[in-house]
Amino acid sequence: MSATRPLNLYAVVPCAGVGERAAAGGPKQYARLAGRSVVSHTLRALGEVKRLKQTVVVLSPTDTAFESHAAEFTGWVVRSGGATRAHSVAAGLQALLANGAQVDDWVLVHDAARCLVRAAWIDTLIDACLNDPIGGLLALPVPDTLKSEHEGRVAATIPRQAKWQAQTPQMFRLGALATALMKADDSVTDEASAMEAQGHAPKLVTGSLENFKVTYPGDFALAERLLRTRE
């Protein structure tokens, strides 16, 4: 790591999904909530984080709709997203490297569908991780009793102590994350799990209950109400 070069912070937003679980009549990131698209709300919040040098949105190669749903976005757009989240994020990291980012720079990966994120929460994550050797993620301690299921019935009760629900952004060094994703298998569902597979222990930074991922049909109505309440 350079002793003199100031480290930059970048954001990568994987946006190549098709929204199969959302039943939104198309990719959920383009659904309308409170007067604008889901991804537009997300990008507006990221745009309010002054320490981010650049944001990269990773789209499917066949996506021709993004610009019409995020007309105000002035960051980088790459159409090299893959079939999985890991592939799309890796493509975003490669785009950053190709445009001058360095392996020791920080990158924050954020879900396009976490449209209620606030700049203040992202700044909290940055403050907590800037001097950390690994990096970390926004997350919430699980308050509810957890059950495992078998054929529609409870199979067991799972202790909730020390259980956390992962959120995004997730913040890691660009080079370390790129290496972790390159070695990732199908068990990797987020950037933190890719880093964990390489023996790292990411830092848990308490997020907000509102920072949920719009996934299922009922999530859209809740997100709409919360966004309109803010306005």
Residue 71 identity: A
> Within 10 Å of residue 93's Cβ, how many Cβ atoms?
26
Domain limits of the chain?
9-230
Q: Per the confidence metrics, is the pTM higher than 0.85?
A: yes
* pLDDT tens-place string over residues 148-169: 999 999 999 999 999 999 999 9
Pick the CATH number of 9-230 from 3.40.640.10, 3.90.550.10, 3.40.50.300, 3.90.1150.10: 3.90.550.10
Q: Which of 229, 1, 3, 2 is nearest to 116 (CA)?
A: 229
Q: Which of 171, 200, 20, 181 is nearest to 88 (CA)?
A: 181
105 is written with which tokens? 């720079």
* pLDDT reading at 15 higher than 60: yes
- Please report, in angstroms and rounded to a whole number, the separation of the first and last CA atoms in the chain: 43
> Within 10 Å of residue 226's Cβ, how many Cβ atoms?
15
Instruction: Quote the pLDDT of residue 23.
Output: 45
Residues in CB range of 108: below 8 A, 6 or more apart = 9, 10, 11, 12, 52, 122, 125, 126, 169, 170, 171
For residue 4, name the pLDDT band (cuts at 50, 70, 90): low
* pLDDT reading at 27 higher than 90: no
* pLDDT reading at 21 higher than 80: no
For residue 25, name the pLDDT band (cuts at 50, 70, 90): low
